[in-house]
Chains A and B, each alone.
Chain A
Amino acid sequence: DTGVSQDPRHKITKRGQNVTFRCDPISEHNRLYWYRQTLGQGPEFLTYFQNEAQLEKSRLLSDRFSAERPKGSFSTLEIQRTEQGDSAMYLCASSLRSNTGELFFGEGSRLTVL
């Protein structure tokens, strides 16, 4: 399978714990995005990378959230001191062409904070 892959698919954690999600984009795509989706809503933009550079961040990305893409390939999204409000689906997407909105999404990582 050469699509966007995310790991883990599901994560249940206790409030206050740290969690990390990984995204492997389509190999030739140099643009990578993180979105968050809560139940009954559309995805909300979190952050965007072009190669290893993080070029855009949403105000939703509080200081407890950090994303990296160290070698311009896979990316990680870490949430520190999780809160119940962090429970959501975290979607990763990649694209090849800029400014088109044509994103290829992974299946998502669902986080449940107890």
Chain B
Amino acid sequence: GQQLNQSPQSMFIQEGEDVSMNCTSSSIFNTWLWYKQDPGEGPVLLIALYKAGELTSNGRLTAQFGITRKDSFLNISASIPSDVGIYFCAGQGIQGAQKLVFGQGTRLTINP
């Protein structure tokens, strides 16, 4: 079945540093999304990408939909303590299919 490989699995950074994580797939996706999950909570949507090559920003977050439609990256600039959490990429495949396929997550830890 479809699988997303997310890397790195975990990151330990200092407050103020920039962060970069990515997601790759052997399958083509029509939509790429990035979600963040805090402990004990459900995932929250950060950014949605709908076109190959699209680059979208949301505050300090920037994400890109890879031109091959098989990958995406997420960058966080000038990290702050509330950025701590688990970041998931997700892909939506063929037109009309409703399910999202999620990566295994990148756990971000920030040292103040």
> Hey, which bits of chain A sit against chain B, CB under 8 A?
4, 31, 33, 40-45, 48, 55-56, 58, 91, 93, 98-108
| Inter-subunit contact A108/B96 (CB<8 Å) | no
Interface range on chain B (Cβ under 8 Å from partner): 20 to 34
Cβ-neighbour of A42 out of B41, B42, B88, B95 (below 8 A)? B88
What chain B residues lie within 8 Å of A108 (beta carbons)?
Answer: 41-42
The listed residue (A33, A55, A99) touching B95 by CB distance below 8 A is A99
**Interface residues in chain B, defined as those with a beta carbon under 8 Å from any beta carbon in chain A:** 4, 6, 31, 33, 40-45, 48, 50, 88, 90, 92, 95-105
Report whether A43 and B92 are in contact in the complex, using a CB–CB cutoff of 8 Å. no
Shortest A110–chain B CB gap in Å is 9
A45 interface neighbour in B40, B101, B103, Cβ under 8 Å: B101
- Flag if B48 contacts A48 (CB, 8 Å): no
